[in-house]
Amino acid sequence: MKARDMTLLEHYAGLAMQGMLANPKLEKQILTQGQSWIEETAWKVAAAMVKTKEIALPEYHKHLRECSELSNRTRNALLAEEVETVGQLLSYPAEQLSKIVNLGKVGRAEIFDLLVKERGER
């Protein structure tokens, strides 16, 4: 059984927790505060990272209906998967794209072109 793909928030929380555990300056606090402190702090750091990323990248909020690079077929396939914005598309696991119904090589190429264009306009 394959584990589900991590969300961006979960990924950042894991990275934050690893960083905290590897930091010798936090050793005393970790020992006195315990596991719940590490978890709570890691989630707070992760939430702040996601929020900062969304603010720093205004294209995150652009709706896919505004993206002329996508064909109706590609757009509809993404919307059926509840991927509605460029930000959600950026966070969507790449290996899952090939599993989306009605999204073939052409659709994946359209998505790639869109993301390259969006990143280039910053």
What's the pLDDT tens digit per position in 9-21? 787 888 888 988 8
* Residue 2's pLDDT band (cuts 50, 70, 90): very low
Q: How far is CA 35 from CA 8, 17, 21, 117, in A?
A: 22, 10, 10, 43
Report the alpha-carbon distance of residue 8 to residue 10 in Å, rounded: 6
Is 60 exceeded by the pLDDT of residue 7?
A: yes
20 close to 41: Cβ distance less than 8 angstroms: yes
Neighbours of 82 (CB within 10 A): 8
The 10s digit of each residue's pLDDT in 93-107 is 877 888 899 998 899
